[in-house]
Structure 1
Amino acid sequence: MSDYSRYVAIGDSQTEGVGDGDDLTGLRGWADRLAEHLAAANPGLTYGNLAVRGLRTRQIRETQLDVALALRPDVATVMAGMNDLIRPSYDADAVSTDLEAMFAALTSAGATVATCTFPDIGMIAPAARPLRARVVDLNERILRLAQTYDVRVVRPDLHPVTTDPRIWAVDRLHASPLGHERIAAGMAQALGVPGFDDAWTTALPPLGRPPVLSRAINESRWLATFLAPWVARRVHGRSSADGRVAKRPALLPMTGDRSAG
């Protein structure tokens, strides 16, 4: 493993940490957890997290990339694309262009960069099954770009555990605390952090399948509680990013507690 001293994370809600804590008590998330792992192996590590929920790939590139470069990271993570993919206006080529620009700029600046593919969202939320082909295509694009720019890649799409409902928050859009823990461990393995291997891919103990009626009720509740409000925001031109700023816009030392944010 390289010696890392400055870690910067850019991205959207997953990197911000939504699903792991809340806005009242604070969000932790996989990037904070990864920073803790990096700091354990690199005392003195500083960490910045520029991610803001709701942002599309172009917005991440436009609002976070230059700030990240100015912080001169020697390790960076980029997670983006899902907020584009789930919209009717999705432009795969535009997302690829923006991802390539971020990978190219960060690696050219000397940073070791890590990213990840996306799991089968149709297994997580049945309503998203029509988007499966988009996910497969986006993953292939990420892998090609990663090979071109020597970016480390975590592959959730290869491991069934990443669609286990316990890995996901109740909204099925964000990882649960356990999911964030697994992502952080996968990133740590990709970055060569001592003590991390493929244990993050291990299946969870079997979970009994709920009765058909319970599944139908849960699906209806999810549609009403999470999907409908998301659609309403899109119709009215609102975003969960409205009024949000990065939780950790500067490089700060790790404090030694369980929340780096």
Structure 2
Amino acid sequence: MSGSAYLRYVALGDSQTEGLGDGDDVRGLRGWADRLAEQVARHSPGLRYANLAVRGRKAGQVRAEQLAPALAMRPDLATVVAGVNDVLRPSVDLDEVVGHLEAMFAALTAQGATVATLMFPDVGRITPLARPVGRRVLALNERIREAAGRYDVVVAETAAHPVATDPRLWSADRLHAGPLGHARIAAAVAQSLGLPDSDDSWTRPLPVDGARASALRVVGAELRWAGTFLGPWLGRRLRGRSSGDGRQAKRPTLLPVASSTGYTSPAV
């Protein structure tokens, strides 16, 4: 059904699909999945869209909590993006992670849905302190790509272009895309699906920023990031807590897609 009209789109995943970094919990979160739904709806006016993603969820939790509700909605388009919360842990079984993703790919495609996923950028290029995680992310990408190939899952190669690690695409926490990053992800998935009006403009680099930070400023920025974001994250891990504790999906049922979310979408 790639490139065709869709009637029911369901997004499964974690904080990136929920939309963290694009809006906030007061105004509401938008995110790449919402943006993709808006693009699909421009050519499929009857589209209904559900977003089951919840921040902090690992791949096994996405499968356990979101797959059955997604299947009950009988989507003809689904996106499945998870695994980063797994590789952020110091001990992770990548085969187990991809096993959960592959089970979701299998169940959704068996029901007739077009399924799309995406590749994760090397987080070590976004923040030097995350370099050990970056290697695990790249290994996860390779396994996801193989699993996707077994089920004809569409893969948006969002990590294949240098712009993916441009800091201007990322929010202050460096774990979630900012508005411009979410816009680029949506454009990448749209092109991979062959949607009308999609193209490769999302791959193009941003204008050159002539300002270069000194080594001292870079070190200072890393220390501020560690204190503001890394420290609290580690604290939650040590306490066995998650940012998604007690949270529910922001859009748990299929609803018509509004033409605008109420604030301006950045150019991609």
Interval containing the TM-score (normalised by the shorter chain): over 0.9
Deviations 1:136-185 (CA, angstroms, capped at 9, x unpaired): 21111011111110010111221000000001000000000000000000
Deviations 1:74-125 (CA, angstroms, capped at 9, x unpaired): 0000100000001012110110110110000000010000000111110011
Structure 2 CA distance for aligned equivalents of residues 99 and 41 of structure 1: 29
1:114 to 96, 116, 121: 116
1:99 to 77, 86, 101: 101
Match of 1:216 in 2: 219
Structure 2 CA distance for aligned equivalents of residues 105 and 121 of structure 1: 30
- Considering only aligned residues, what root-mean-square deviation do their CA atoms show, in Å? 1.1
Alignment of 1:219-234 (within 5 A): 219-234=222-237
The alpha-carbon deviation at position 217 of structure 1 amounts to 1.0
Structure 2 CA distance for aligned equivalents of residues 168 and 209 of structure 1: 18
Structure 2 CA distance for aligned equivalents of residues 181 and 132 of structure 1: 23
Match of 1:63 in 2: 65
Structure 2 CA distance for aligned equivalents of residues 257 and 80 of structure 1: 27
1:237 to 231, 234, 240: 240
The alpha-carbon deviation at position 259 of structure 1 amounts to 5.8
Match of 1:255 in 2: 258
TM-score of the superposed pair, with normalisation by structure 1: 0.98
The answer (yes or no) to whether the contact 2:122–2:135 under 8 Å persists in 1 is no
Structure 2 CA distance for aligned equivalents of residues 11 and 32 of structure 1: 13
In the alignment, structure 2 segments of 5+ residues that lack a partner are 264-268
Structure 1 CA distance for aligned equivalents of residues 232 and 193 of structure 2: 37
The alpha-carbon deviation at position 221 of structure 1 amounts to 0.3
**Are residue 167 (structure 1) and residue 183 (structure 2) matched?**
no
How many aligned positions are there?
A: 260
* SS of residue in 2 equivalent to 1:196: coil
In the alignment, structure 1 segments of 5+ residues that lack a partner are none
Structure 1 CA distance for aligned equivalents of residues 117 and 160 of structure 2: 15
Match of 2:201 in 1: 199
* SS of residue in 2 equivalent to 1:156: coil
Displacement over 3 Å in runs of 4+: none
Alignment of 1:152-191 (within 5 A): 152-191=154-193
* SS of residue in 1 equivalent to 2:159: helix
Structure 1 CA distance for aligned equivalents of residues 67 and 135 of structure 2: 28
TM-score of the superposed pair, with normalisation by structure 2: 0.95
The answer (yes or no) to whether the contact 1:55–1:241 under 8 Å persists in 2 is yes
Deviations 1:38-82 (CA, angstroms, capped at 9, x unpaired): 000111100000000000000000000000000100000010000
Q: Percent identity?
A: 60
